[in-house]
Amino acid sequence: MPTAEFDDVLAALDAGRRSRRTVMSTSADRAARQVREEVVEGRLRSGTRLPEERLAAAIGVSRNTLREALSQLVAERILVREPNRGVVVATPGPDDIRDLYAVRIVVEPGALEHGPGLTDARLAALRAAVDEGRAALANDDLDGVASANQHFHRAVVAVARSPRLDALMDLLLAEMRLVFHSMGDPGAFHTPYLEDNARICDLLEAGDRDAAARHLAGYLSRARDHLLGAASGRG
């Protein structure tokens, strides 16, 4: 009896079952993911209404199931529910931008300064995000720059080694993408901050976490004002 092999297979199957369960999850989650994707990718623009019946048919789930998905996205502030009128893609205003940056200015520098997970691997991830952004810029790939920027900030928060903060940051970044889309993001918005990211990397590699955190806080409030100016100009 090759018990060892057999137990391995058993464990593998169990892992497969578990992951399939959490990956596939319920169809409500899948529907939520699909709609979220459409929104953050900008294919569903701010203010567009999402009629339940048609959307449910399009995704291929029941209206009840879709409602569960929509409720979740409303909780994430990606959609807004107007009672008796349905859900629409949120249109973040100046207050939202201020609030988003208020959270980021508390969370991101805090993670850099006090996070217990500033390992070599995570430093490398930060540096990689910077390189990714530079490479994208060299290719005139503005979407790539924006994407790399998100990777950078996600990596910043990862230093806190907190699943809850990671999840929070994902929500914030999704909302940020909505902000950019809702103001017809040229995508060029992020390029000036690439060098700030690089500087933060330098400071961290030099071991000066306080300075890195301060630089990040300052750069975030600069970016907020930059964004607010652009929003009032266009929005």
Q: Which of 33, 162, 187, 224 binds a copy of itself (CB under 8 A)?
A: 162
Q: Is 191 exposed, middle or buried (0-12, 13-18, 19+ CB in 10 A)?
A: middle
Instruction: Tell me the window of 49-57, 99-107, 183-191, 216-224 that interacts with DNA (CB under 7 A).
Output: 49-57
Strands 79-82 and 49-50: unpaired
Q: Which residue, 55 or 194, has its beta carbon nearer to a copy of itself?
A: 55
Q: Which residue, 80 or 128, has its beta carbon nearer to DNA?
A: 80
Closest among 170, 151, 132, 143 to 42, alpha carbons compared? 143
Interface with DNA in residues 75-94 (CB under 7 A): 81, 83-87
Q: Which of 61, 90, 100, 174 binds a copy of itself (CB under 8 A)?
A: 100
Q: Which of 61, 146, 158, 201 binds DNA (CB under 7 A)?
A: 61
Confirm if 30 and 24 have CB atoms less than 8 A apart: yes
- Strands of the chain (E only): list them: 49-50, 79-82, 86-89
Q: Is 68 in the site for a copy of itself (CB under 8 A)?
A: yes
Q: Is 28 in the site for a copy of itself (CB under 8 A)?
A: yes
Confirm if 89 and 39 have CB atoms less than 8 A apart: yes
Q: Is 20 in the site for DNA (CB under 7 A)?
A: no
148 binds, among a copy of itself, DNA, none (CB under 5 to 8 A by kind): none
Confirm if 160 and 117 have CB atoms less than 8 A apart: yes
Which residues lie near DNA (CB under 7 A)?
26-28, 49-54, 60-65, 67, 81, 83-87
